[in-house]
Structure 1
Amino acid sequence: MDVSSKIRAGRRWLAGPEPWPARRTAGECVLAAVLALLAAGTQELMGSAGPAQFATALAVAVLSLLRRRLPATVLVVSGGAAGELAGFGPLLIVAGWSAGRRIPGAGKVLAAFTASCVLNIVVGAASELPRFSPLSLVMFSTLYFLATTVVPGLASRYWTQRRTLLHALQEHNAQLLRERAMVAGQARLRERQRIAQDMHDSLGHQLALISVHTGALEVDPALTDRQREGVGVLRDASVAAMHELREVVGILRDGVERDDAAAAPGLPPVEDPRPAARGAAGIEGLVAAARAAGNAVELRCAGSRRPLAAAADHAAYRIVQEALTNAYKHAPGAAITVELRYEPDSLVVEIANGPAPADPGDVVSGGQGLTGLRERARLVGGMVHAGRTDGGGFRVAGVLPYGADGLGPGTGAAPLVDVEDDFRQQSPVVPLGNGGQVMDWTVVQRELAMSGGRGSRSSGVVLGCGIAVGALVLLLVAGGFGLFFLAGSAERGMIEPGDYEAVKVGTAEKEVRESLPNGDSFMTSGLRDKGPARPEGSECLVLASSEFGESLAAEPVFRFCFRDGKLIEKKSYDVVH
């Protein structure tokens, strides 16, 4: 294994279950370097230098890189080391944040933080016990650990659990949407099957009867040629309608092939002498059939023919078919013009008829034909317009884009939008299924709004600010108690150099003790056994000076020794820690 492979394996091991991209690797290295510099600077302020300072910085950098892989171990080691070496303080904050989110299980988290806190207090007390009282050490160490380690750990764990919960809700919501779409699709399929069966059993039977009876009537010798021609038109129309019905039934059955032998129960199959071409190519057949029925229909074509997408091609056929049907019903006998214009980017289909020569009377109409045409054209990116002309006639015009099959390179054509539509109808539709994740973001936005934010980033900022404020309040409270405690303790163990000079040897012990503090303070707890030898048989009062010494390591001390009720000696000296 070469060096690069070992480096990659080591990086994967450090990253743990989460992959480390190059950006994360660089960020971790920069953070380790910053923590190492902070540790080195802190140790230098505390009087450490040389190999000890370098070893502390190196240990902090290594532990920083290991905190993702071994969060509990790094937390406990950092807590113990921070009790002795102040340079591990910044690392302890980062280790608390990482351990809060990476240690699985509340019990393990509690155990890791408790062990780190106890170790921090024990090591700190062992190093500072001669100078400070055990109660003060435990109180300040606990407050410090809570503010710098527990609060970041709780904040990190809450943020991680909230993000995990939100992701789980999104996944669950997407799964519900997919299941709902599947249920709706199954319901639609069953309904379409039922409709297809009803159409096949009822309309197919009736159309087959019409075809058979018109075929028998067509060969009746009693009919004139004109009548026989009309009956032939009816028979052809019924056969074409029957074949179109089979195609519609096949579509409703979602691709189930039609059974040409099952035109109607108990009837033989009927061959279609003129299969219906349900596209732009079949418009000529519609016009020919209309002419054969005695209508004056003119067909005009302009431009070079281009292929259309299947849906658009079928829409063009249906527009002409519906417009001709309306012209037959509402303006019987009027001249009809059908025009097909192949424009550079779309096919324009226009059907216009003149005013009706006579009152058509009561016309039975469903009223949904034009609405269906508009919807059909909208689905393929086109539009349909219908309205009366200036001469009293009626005009239906449709504009249909060629689509992916008919657009040439560089045409730059775009789907058309009907003026009656709005932009919401043109919004993209994300398909349901395995192709991509589908989210109902209203649920997510509602959940985020309940947390006080407009999105994940803003809510995270609000949460972070709240935790920061809480930690600041906790530190202020702890600092207030600490200052109050320090002020009282300093008053009992510290005097001014002038007070030391004012005390004279030989003064009565009672008078001296009344003028001086009693020395019961953590500031003097480690000073009593240090300094010059005491006079034999004497009892001494040791007090700290209110002034600083020549260095941070040297502390000025005043000592008053009493024997037989009098002050027999006073000394001023420095205690080096």
Structure 2
Amino acid sequence: MAVRRRARELWARLTDPAQWNWRRMTGEAVLALGLGLLTALAEELSGRGWILVVLASLAVVLLSLVRRTLPATALVLTAAMSGMSVNGAFLLLMVASWSAGRRIDAVLRALGAYAAAFVLFEVLVLRELRPVSPESVLATLMFLVLTVVPGLTGRYWAQRRTLVRTLQERHLQLLREREMVAGQARMRERQRIAQDMHDSLGHQLALIAVQTGALEVSRGLSDQQREAVGVLREASVTAMRELRAVVGVLKDGTVGDEEPDARVVAGIGGLVDSAAAAGVRVRLERSGEARPLAPAADHAAYRLVQEGLTNACKHARGAAITVCLRYEPDSLVVEVANGPTPQEAGTGRSEAVSGGQGITGLRERARLTGGIVHAGPVEGGGFRLAGVFPYGAGEDGGTTTFVAAEDDFRQQLTAVAPGEGEPVNGRLDPREEFKNVMSLRKNNGCLIGCVVGLVLLVGLVVLVVLGFGMVLKEADKAMIDHKTYESIRVGASEEAVRKELPSGRSFLTDGLQGQGPAEPAGAKCLSLLAKDSSSELSTERVYRFCFKEGKLVEKRDFRVAM
């Protein structure tokens, strides 16, 4: 049962759709096919039978396809094939080592996989080659170069990607923390402002409401004066209610228990009626079919009428005021216009009315909703304040706007998460973020791995250079060319011949003694290897010189099995 369960788990890992998108499938198929063809060509040139050629090619293709899911297994099996002199396996060895370096997370497991691959390769190589021979040394160095360098490179690349991803996640975390700190600072500042407004304005407005209430019931006032005082009392009560609403917004973002229609377009009629009750000559005109607005635009339209009436009462006393609401197909047009004051009617001109901070604030409110505000004198005297406020969503699903894209704050606000603060793009799950951070620490850190990998790479390069230098030095002690062999004559003195020949004291010639034809009786022989290349890969050419009584008595040329 355990074997079946493991087999099902392995099959699920190999066929996981997340690992095999169309691009990866194409790349892996091309790579596996290329390695298989190169292996078949190399094995065919080596004189292997067609059965061995097919088996080696299929093994290379299979290992290439599973190296991502089973990196350690693919590395060890590829090393075994390289040790069995499968020529195409050396190309796969680089690819398998790269995948193992990238995908084996645990350091000890990676070291174990590479050590097992090296030991298995050496065992299989030494079964066919002498332990201390040029071929075995070169095979070992080639194996180390083809495994260690790609493995370290792959591990460095994987750790660098992990480090970059972790730094990005930490950066996003810091942005979120900065947003939280800034939000808390804004909340404290708003609470302080709200407290100051409540303490200063609230007290004064309460006194006004109490005094006007007492004055309203005074017997010494006429009916007209009592009505004016009642309007003042209602205005102070309304101001108190709006102050509580503003304080509530500043403290915790809640509006309070105010009626929904108090400060929106639906409340403009009541605003005009209050002004008319105070003796202002004002009338309200409506046109078009009423349509709902976005909450911000609805409130901004109400504030525009409120600001227009206030400015007209302050700067154009006695002038007739017209409030106009026109529902256009794409927007609501709100207009507050007053004619010239009675004392200026004869001159035909009026002084320009300054909007001050009120009109500046209206323009900002309108810009936040995608609308515009215009204020200025009109021809013939008077002043006009008008605003255009778009409706919510259009028929095409979009939103009408009358400002430039860079000034449309609604597009920016939609990118902000619930709450206040600057939008942060690329938000990630904090649990995934901290999991990656902890996994990076668990792997002993990317910097340590990079430093160790660099040291190992430098040591490997030094080892390769020293190994080649040692092999060349030993070759000078144990090898001669055919021309030198032909130039030496039998009968020459031993001293003269040895001056032309190397010493022969090298590990390359250790296994040559006693090989080849029988040596002359009583002679001392020196066996050397030939420098010229041999057409037969399984044999080695040997030159032997035998000395007796101070002279060269024989020289022989023969071959020995490798």
- TM-score with structure 2 setting the length: 0.74
Match of 1:269 in 2: none
Give the conservation status (yes or no) of the 8 Å contact 1:378–1:418.
no
- 2:155 pairs with 136, 140, 157, which one? 157
1:379 positional shift:
2.1
Query: Aligned residues: percent identity?
Result: 53
- 1:175 pairs with 155, 159, 173, which one? 173
Structure 1's 504 and 299: CA in aligned 2 closer, same or farther, altered over 3 A? same
Give the conservation status (yes or no) of the 8 Å contact 1:178–1:433.
no
Match of 2:20 in 1: 21
Match of 1:82 in 2: 82
CA displacement 1:237-257 (0-9 Å, x = unmatched): 334334434444554454758
Q: Which amino acid aligns with 2:228?
A: G
- 2:403 pairs with 417, 427, 444, which one? 417
Secondary structure in 1 aligned to 2:293? coil
Give the conservation status (yes or no) of the 8 Å contact 1:74–1:95.
yes
Aligned counterparts, 1:91-110, within 5 A: 91-110=92-111
The answer to whether residue 324 in structure 2 is matched with residue 339 in structure 1 is yes
Structure 1's 564 and 431: CA in aligned 2 closer, same or farther, altered over 3 A? same
Q: Which amino acid aligns with 1:238?
A: S
The answer to whether residue 276 in structure 2 is matched with residue 277 in structure 1 is no
Match of 1:375 in 2: 364
Structure 1's 426 and 276: CA in aligned 2 closer, same or farther, altered over 3 A? closer
Match of 1:228 in 2: 226
**1: distance between equivalents of 2:549 and 2:409?**
102
Secondary structure in 2 aligned to 1:127? coil
The answer to whether residue 388 in structure 2 is matched with residue 399 in structure 1 is yes
1:549 positional shift:
3.9
Structure 1's 385 and 552: CA in aligned 2 closer, same or farther, altered over 3 A? farther
Structure 1's 256 and 338: CA in aligned 2 closer, same or farther, altered over 3 A? closer
1:68 positional shift:
4.1
**2: distance between equivalents of 1:47 and 1:564?**
48
Secondary structure in 1 aligned to 2:289? coil
Structure 1's 243 and 428: CA in aligned 2 closer, same or farther, altered over 3 A? closer
Structure 1's 197 and 549: CA in aligned 2 closer, same or farther, altered over 3 A? closer
**2: distance between equivalents of 1:116 and 1:345?**
75
1:566 positional shift:
3.9
- 1:386 pairs with 369, 372, 375, which one? 375
The answer to whether residue 320 in structure 2 is matched with residue 322 in structure 1 is no
**1: distance between equivalents of 2:255 and 2:417?**
26
**1: distance between equivalents of 2:342 and 2:539?**
122
Secondary structure in 2 aligned to 1:128? coil
Structure 1's 170 and 499: CA in aligned 2 closer, same or farther, altered over 3 A? closer
Give the conservation status (yes or no) of the 8 Å contact 1:131–1:524.
no
1:309 positional shift:
1.3
Secondary structure in 2 aligned to 1:332? coil
Secondary structure in 1 aligned to 2:128? helix
Structure 1's 195 and 549: CA in aligned 2 closer, same or farther, altered over 3 A? closer
**2: distance between equivalents of 1:424 and 1:101?**
46
Give the conservation status (yes or no) of the 8 Å contact 2:319–2:340.
yes
Q: Which amino acid aligns with 2:176?
A: R
Match of 1:560 in 2: 545
Aligned counterparts, 1:450-469, within 5 A: none
Aligned counterparts, 1:295-310, within 5 A: 295-310=280-295
Secondary structure in 2 aligned to 1:430? coil
Structure 1's 236 and 543: CA in aligned 2 closer, same or farther, altered over 3 A? same
Give the conservation status (yes or no) of the 8 Å contact 2:367–2:408.
no
1:278 positional shift:
1.8
Q: Give me the CA root mean square deviation.
A: 4.7
Greater CA drift, 190-199 or 296-305:
190-199
1:317 positional shift:
0.6
Match of 1:264 in 2: none
Aligned counterparts, 1:142-153, within 5 A: 143-153=141-151
Q: Which amino acid aligns with 1:315?
A: A
Structure 1's 495 and 282: CA in aligned 2 closer, same or farther, altered over 3 A? same
Tell me the matched-pair count: 523
Give the conservation status (yes or no) of the 8 Å contact 1:178–1:432.
no
The answer to whether residue 133 in structure 2 is matched with residue 132 in structure 1 is yes
The answer to whether residue 561 in structure 2 is matched with residue 572 in structure 1 is no
- TM-score with structure 1 setting the length: 0.73
Secondary structure in 2 aligned to 1:368? helix
The answer to whether residue 276 in structure 2 is matched with residue 294 in structure 1 is no
Structure 1's 51 and 370: CA in aligned 2 closer, same or farther, altered over 3 A? same
Structure 1 residues not aligned, in runs of 5+ = 261-271, 360-364, 442-463
**2: distance between equivalents of 1:512 and 1:195?**
109
CA displacement 1:122-164 (0-9 Å, x = unmatched): 554553326716xx955x5664345322232222222222322
Match of 2:350 in 1: none
**2: distance between equivalents of 1:259 and 1:410?**
36
Give the conservation status (yes or no) of the 8 Å contact 1:244–1:276.
no
The answer to whether residue 527 in structure 2 is matched with residue 542 in structure 1 is yes
**2: distance between equivalents of 1:315 and 1:189?**
24
**1: distance between equivalents of 2:216 and 2:423?**
61
Structure 1's 208 and 89: CA in aligned 2 closer, same or farther, altered over 3 A? same
Give the conservation status (yes or no) of the 8 Å contact 1:347–1:401.
yes
